[in-house]
Amino acid sequence: MTNSACKGITPDDPRFAELDAFIQDGRASAEFLIAVLHKAQQIFGFLPEEVQRHVAAALQVPPSEVYGVVTFYNYFTLTPVGKYPINVCMGTACYVRGAGRILSLIEEELGIKPGEVTPDGMFSLEVCRCLGACSLAPVVTVKEEVYSQMDEAGTRKLLADLRRRAEAATAVGATGGE
């Protein structure tokens, strides 16, 4: 079973209708490829082959062009990410200020390595070479939020906070409040 099958992406997935509405709102040409891919990733969480083929057909561009853009830009991902994607900067400034220890701690606490997602789908872990926040090193991001000058205590606190958020979101979803 492919990752996308695990995520429930089939040709009749209702998320394709949302993507099509975005495209049909004046973005049905190749010049909007990156904008459409951004929206697709926002909707699906990642860009599996099924989504890339759909975008290619909708914009009338070759699937190879879509794949080329998706694999060229670091923003795009071909694999599922957790609800709370964690990214550890391993650029020079972050690395010399302890990012390696931070990464090891996160790996140990979550039981995953970079490129993996926790079994419950709540957390994923990635590393990057530089976030451009060297004066704040070491830096960790979760979604779009930046956490600066991380140390082991701060990392443990961040992970505990993220677990609380994840548990609260799960509880709300279980009661139908989401």
Amino acid letter, residue 8 = G
In a domain, 109, yes or no: yes
Helix (H) or strand (E) holding 67: helix 63-72
pTM, entire model: 0.71
| 67 plus 95 within the same structural domain | no
| 101 plus 143 within the same structural domain | yes
DSSP assignment of 134-165 equals GGG-S-EEETTEEE-S--HHHHHHHHHHHHHH
Give the mean pLDDT per block of 10 residues along the chain (178 residues). Answer: 52 93 90 95 93 96 96 87 94 97 98 94 92 95 94 97 89 64
In a domain, 79, yes or no: no
In a domain, 157, yes or no: yes
Domain extent for 112:
84-172
In a domain, 160, yes or no: yes
| CA 37/CA 124 separation, integer angstroms | 21
In a domain, 3, yes or no: no
